[in-house]
Structure 1
Amino acid sequence: MSNLALQVKDDIVAKIKNDQLVLPTLPEIALQVQEIAEDAATTIPQLTKIIAQDPAMTARIIKVTNSPLIRTSSPVTDLNTAISRLGIDFTSNLCVGLAMEQMFQATHDIIDKRMRSCWSRAMEVAATCQVLARHYTRLQPDQALLAGLIHQIGMLPILSYAEDNADLLHDSISLDLVLEKLHPSLGSYILRSWDFQPDLALVPKEYLNLKHTADSADYTDLVQVATLQSYAGSDHPLGKVNRTELGSFQRLGLAADEEVTQLEALSEEMEATQNALGM
């Protein structure tokens, strides 16, 4: 690790320990939805009233409802019906996840490009997680989707830090090193501060741990498999990982000699899911 990378890493770690690092905060719409969804007495009209304040989010939820992801029997044109089809839990997780997109933007072109690239990968991984959860686990597909969308949330404060640090901003190698070293633990730190449930908060910290263990398939397994799949065939180190002995693939029931075929068979569904998440 370069001297600059070490210096930045130590500075960020010190800020975390001293509670001085400025952490990203969830968008207001996500906070409101998260709060009301935690109340078991919440009704669909109540959730509709909150989400309807955000026309863009309303349009995206209706779009998802009309996509192959949900397979509705007839077109949905209003938010109340969309939430009725999706359910309160699915809608709230979808809303919280999609609201994060506005956080992955910056004023500096270099950082903005990195943030948008990060969000694009999050969308790809989330779509794969959602499909894998439906076909290979008993995990909740909406939670799997959210796990994919938040798995690199730890990159945000590092990229924001770089935006205000000229040396790091123009040293892509050092920035990559800092991101690689810090974003997993920082991501889980952020999610705990947002009161995310423990199995989701663990995802950023563990998804790159190829020795991750669990009694049965969990959300970390889904994100790990989806991440490795996203790099398949590339020159990236994660594209060269021997997946045949990974516990994550085994717990999902992806056979070592058939997993490529199994995943390719779901590629159209994964692509449709990713398209449904975008605009």
Structure 2
Amino acid sequence: MSAIRQRNESDDNIDRQDAFGRVRNLLPLKLLSDRDFATITAATNVESCARGHDLFRAGFDDNFIFFLLSGTIAITDAEGESFNIVGGEMESRYPLYPQPPDRIKATARSPAQFIRFPADLLRLQSEGVGVRDNIKVEEINQEADTLEQRALFEVFHGLMNDDLVLPSLPDVAIRIRDAANNENVAVEDIARIIRADASTAAYCISIANNAAFAGAAQVDNILDAVVRMGIQPTRDLVVAYTIRSLFTGKDPLAKKLMREAWVHSCRIAALSYILARDVGRLNPERALLAGLLHDVGVTILINEAQTHPPLLKDMPMFCQLCQELSGQIGAMILRAWKFPDIFATAALEAEAFTKAVGDRLNIGDIVVLAHLHDRQPAPWSVQPTNLGELAICSKLDGYDTTEDHHLAVVEAADRELVELTALLSS
């Protein structure tokens, strides 16, 4: 169905001034000077898309980027699978654009409002990018020179043009996941796949003998390890283990950052495991995997920054890049790997401390709570303030907390956290 778009000069819900105020502080528009922003918005208006019609389609709208203001849209890939984006929520803060095979079209599930910009015009503006006239320190480093600004633009456009090299899920993880998702699979089948990879086999035995799973006797073979853990937990733990291969860099600084990213992810994974088990009453292995995967986008940015030395050497600029793009890239990778959408959401909202919370905690909420309890945050992590006032903390009524609003059950599990973090990061 072809798109139906209407220019909307004075919509009752979102007028032009309000709409541009919203997108002004989003990448890549926040990097433009006020003059350049005025240039690209001069002939742009809020547009509308009727329910059931396409906001964009690959092959027809490849030269535009879109910002969703209101309504719900479904992004569909080449295989017909889709996920929703809701205006005003976290994922709508990122620009949308056709990107085959992962983004073939965007269809309105409800009446939607959006703004679109010509991508070529935005690229032209980026060639002469300068610091915004009134930009705040927390939005961009005011001392960054034109080269660094341009590098940040290039990373964004590499993402938009599908030029960034995204990793594949390790083969053993794919085979384990596919087998575990088969209702008729036997424990022996899972054990046979794991035995083919010596390091994964050793890891599974170590995990099975960890305090979280350990029984009266130690296990010393893969079959007993899988029986003790269960097929689905084994699947999640094996996938988690294989992800470590992505956290590698070439030069010394990149290696250091990758190591920091991996250790940070392991801490968040361990915290997520404890919180899901003791607070959220959720599947702890799923939460552990979500915690370990939440920063996978950072690995891509570290690798990309190696081709832009100013970014890698300027930590404030690199941290800004991670805060702006790592969630979006991580969600893109996890969807390409066909993970359930809750994992993509967890990557996008890992540090969304002010997010609204539903009636019950979900895996994404657990990853946010894990960050709130992380006493050794990564350099690129956002530091929350006023923990007691956050909406997510209101869901913790009935649980004892410390003076700094940390959960007592987490403090009590300190030894288990240390052991689990060490096991994951080794």
TM-score (normalised: structure 1): 0.92
Match of 1:206 in 2: 349
Unaligned runs of 5+ in 2: 1-139
2:406 to 233, 243, 260: 260
Match of 1:242 in 2: 386
Larger Rg: 2
Identity of aligned residues (%): 26
Match of 1:108 in 2: 251
Q: How many pairs were matched up? A: 279
Question: Could you tell me how far apart the structure 2 residues matched to 1:143 and 1:173 are?
Answer: 32
Question: Could you tell me how far apart the structure 2 residues matched to 1:252 and 1:225 are?
Answer: 10
Structure 1 range deviating more: 44-53 or 76-85: 44-53
Match of 2:195 in 1: 52
Structure 1 range deviating more: 97-106 or 250-259: 250-259
Question: Could you tell me how far apart the structure 1 residues matched to 2:165 and 2:218 are?
Answer: 43
Is residue 137 from structure 1 mapped to residue 284 from structure 2 by the alignment? no
User: How big is the shift at 1:266?
Assistant: 2.0
Structure 1 range deviating more: 239-248 or 130-139: 239-248
Mapping for residues 29-40 of structure 1, pairs under 5 Å: 29-40=172-183
| Amino acid in the other structure paired with 2:302 | L
For residues 20-54 of structure 1, the C-alpha deviation after alignment (integer angstroms, 9 at most, x for no partner) is: 22112211111221222221222111111111111
| Amino acid in the other structure paired with 1:275 | A
Indicate if the aligned counterparts of 2:400 and 2:407 stay in contact, CA closer than 8 A: no
Question: Could you tell me how far apart the structure 2 residues matched to 1:155 and 1:238 are?
Answer: 14
Match of 1:272 in 2: 419
What secondary structure does 2:250 align onto?
coil
For residues 167-201 of structure 1, the C-alpha deviation after alignment (integer angstroms, 9 at most, x for no partner) is: 32333332222122111121111111111101111
Question: Could you tell me how far apart the structure 2 residues matched to 1:277 and 1:157 are?
Answer: 21
Cα distance change, pair 272–167 in 1 and its aligned pair in 2 (3 A): closer
Mapping for residues 148-159 of structure 1, pairs under 5 Å: 148-159=291-302
Structure 1 range deviating more: 85-94 or 222-231: 222-231
User: How big is the shift at 1:94?
Assistant: 0.4
What secondary structure does 2:266 align onto?
helix
Structure 1 range deviating more: 261-270 or 137-146: 261-270
Match of 1:86 in 2: 229
Q: Which has the larger share of helix?
A: 1
Match of 1:195 in 2: 338
Question: Could you tell me how far apart the structure 2 residues matched to 1:46 and 1:97 are?
Answer: 19
Cα distance change, pair 185–66 in 1 and its aligned pair in 2 (3 A): same
Unaligned runs of 5+ in 1: none
Cα distance change, pair 199–242 in 1 and its aligned pair in 2 (3 A): same
User: How big is the shift at 1:233?
Assistant: 9.9
User: How big is the shift at 1:123?
Assistant: 0.6
Cα distance change, pair 234–85 in 1 and its aligned pair in 2 (3 A): closer
Q: Which has the larger share of strand?
A: 2
The CA RMSD measured in Å over matched residues stands at 2.3
TM-score (normalised: structure 2): 0.61
User: How big is the shift at 1:119?
Assistant: 0.4
